[in-house]
Chain A
Amino acid sequence: MKKLKGLLALLFAFTLFAAACGDTSDEADDPTTTAGDDSAETTEAMEDDGDEGEAPETTEADVDLTQGGDLTFHMITHSDDGPFWSVVKKGAEAAAADVGVTLVWMPGNNDPGKMVTDIATAIGEGSNGIAASLPSPDQLIGPLQDAVAAGIPVYTINSGVNDYQTIGATSHVGQTEFIAGQGAGLRFNDAGATHVLCGRQEQSNVGLTERCNGLKDTFTGTVTDEFVGLDADQTEQINGIKALMEASPDIDGFLGVGPVIAMSGLTASQDLGRDVVVGGFDITPEIIDAIEAGDVAFTVDQQQYLQGYLPVVLMFLEATNQNTAGGGLPILTGPGFVTPENAGAVKELVAAGTR
Chain B
Amino acid sequence: MTPSTTRVADATAASAAGGDERLAYRGVFARILVRPEIGAAIAAVSIWIFFWAVSVPFGLTSGAASILDVSATLGIMAVAVSMLMIGGEFDLSAGAATGAFGIITLLLVRDVTGEMGGAGLSLWFALPLSFLLAMGLGLFNGTLVNKTSLPSFIVTLASFFILVGSKLGFAKLLVDQIQVGKMNDLAIFSEDRASDKGYAFFNRIFAAEWERNLHQWDSRDAFYTFGVVAGLTLLVIALYELRFRRKETQNMLGLGVCLAGIVLGLVGIFNLHNTRGTQGDVVGAGFIGFGILVGFIGLAMWRYESLNDRGGLTLTADASRPLILGLVALAASFIAARYFDSQNSEDIFFMVTEQGLRAILFVGLGATAAVFLLISSSRAGYTSQTARSAVLMLTALLVAATAFFIRAESVTPKFRTQVLAVMLVLAALMATWAVTTLLFAERRSPDDKAERLGRTLVIVGSSLAVMGVVARMLFVVQAEIDAGAPPSKFSVRILWFLGFTAACAWVLARTKFGSWTFAVGGNKQASRQIGVPAERTKTQLFMLVAGAAWLVGTLLAFRLNTIQASTGDGLEFEFIIAAVVGGTMLTGGYGSAIGAAIGAIIMAMAKQGIPSSRWNSDWRFVFLGVILLLAVIANDFIRSKAEAAR
Contacts and interface: CB of A to CB of B under 8 A. Distances in A.
B182 interface: yes
Nearest to A11: B569
A233 B476 CA distance: 30
Contact of A285 (B56, B72, B177): B177
B206 to A, nearest CB: 14
A234 B560 contact: yes
Contacts of A236: 70, 607
B105 to A, nearest CB: 16
Interface in B505-520: none
A231 B620 contact: no
Contacts of B382: none
B608 interface: yes
A284 B568 CA distance: 19
A65 B161 CA distance: 51
Contacts of A231: 564, 566-567
Contacts of B69: 235, 238-239
Contacts of A273: 486-487
B644 to A, nearest CB: 38
Contact of B611 (A8, A233, A240, A284): A240
Interface stretch (A68-76, A136-144, A187-195, A243-251): A243-251
Interface stretch (A168-176, A222-230, A324-332): A222-230
B612 interface: yes
A286 B614 CA distance: 30
Contacts of B58: 243
Most chain A beta carbons < 10 A, residue from B55, B66, B172:
B66
A7 interface: yes
A238 B62 CA distance: 13
A233 B178 CA distance: 15
Interface in A61-88: 82-83, 86
B334 to A, nearest CB: 29
Interface in A246-305: 246-248, 260, 263, 267, 271-273, 284-286
A262 B541 CA distance: 38
Contact of B73 (A83, A235, A267): A235
Given A11-B569, A247-B55, A271-B487, A82 B611 contact: no
Contacts of B522: none
A12 B165 contact: yes
A239 B66 contact: yes
A271 B72 CA distance: 17
B613 A247 contact: yes
Instruction: Give the one of A7, A12, A86, A239 with max B CB within 10 A.
Output: A239
Interface string A195-236: 000000001000000000000000000000011111111111
A231 B486 CA distance: 26
A235 B559 contact: yes
B164 A11 contact: yes
Contacts of B608: 239-240, 243
B57 interface: yes
B181 interface: yes
Contact of A243 (B560, B562, B611): B611
Contacts of A7: 566
A236 to B, nearest CB: 5
Interface string B227-264: 00000000000000000000000000000000000000
Given A227-B617, A235-B69, A244-B611, A11 B566 contact: yes
Interface in B67-81: 67, 69-70, 72-73
Contacts of A244: 611-612, 614
B178 A12 contact: no
B168 interface: yes
B565 A8 contact: yes
B398 interface: no
Nearest to B175: A285
A24 to B, nearest CB: 16
Interface in B131-183: 161, 164-165, 168, 172, 176-179, 181-182
A271 B179 contact: no
Interface string A3-27: 0100110011100000000000000
B570 interface: yes
B612 A247 contact: yes
B611 A286 contact: no
Contacts of B165: 12
A355 interface: no
Contacts of B561: 286
Contacts of A286: 179, 181-182, 561-562
Contacts of A248: 614
B618 interface: yes
B435 interface: no
A235 B70 contact: yes
Contacts of B67: 239
Contacts, number: 119
B57 A83 contact: no
B556 interface: yes
A263 B567 CA distance: 14
Interface in B176-233: 176-179, 181-182
Contacts of B618: 203, 227
Contacts of B177: 83, 284-285
Interface string B558-582: 0111101111111100000000000
Contacts of A238: 69
Contact of B620 (A227, A272, A284): A227
A242 interface: yes
Contacts of A228: 611, 617
Contacts of A272: 62, 486-487
B486 A4 contact: no
Contacts of B617: 203, 226-228
A240 to B, nearest CB: 5
B567 A234 contact: yes
Contact of A230 (B56, B164, B182, B570): B570
B36 interface: no
A83 B176 contact: yes
B489 interface: yes
B60 interface: yes
A233 B568 contact: yes
B63 A246 contact: yes
B487 A232 contact: no
A95 to B, nearest CB: 22
A239 B178 contact: no
A242 B608 CA distance: 9
Contacts of A263: 562
Interface string B524-563: 0000000000000000000000000000000010011110
A273 B489 CA distance: 11
B60 A246 contact: yes
B564 A260 contact: yes
Nearest to A224: B614
B270 interface: no
B621 A246 contact: no
A13 B567 CA distance: 15
Given A246-B60, A246-B63, A82 B486 contact: no
A20 B590 CA distance: 40
Contact of B612 (A12, A246, A285): A246
Interface in B43-97: 55-58, 60, 62-63, 66-67, 69-70, 72-73, 95
Interface of B: 55-58, 60, 62-63, 66-67, 69-70, 72-73, 95, 99, 161, 164-165, 168, 172, 176-179, 181-182, 486-487, 489, 556, 559-562, 564-571, 607-608, 611-614, 617-618, 620-621
16 contacts: A11-B164, A83-B176, A86-B176, A228-B617, A232-B99, A233-B571, A242-B66, A243-B66, A243-B608, A244-B614, A247-B55, A260-B179, A263-B562, A267-B560, A272-B486, A273-B486
Given A12-B168, A243-B611, 15 more contacts: A11-B569, A82-B172, A83-B177, A226-B611, A233-B571, A234-B560, A235-B72, A236-B70, A242-B66, A243-B58, A244-B611, A271-B487, A273-B487, A286-B561, A286-B562
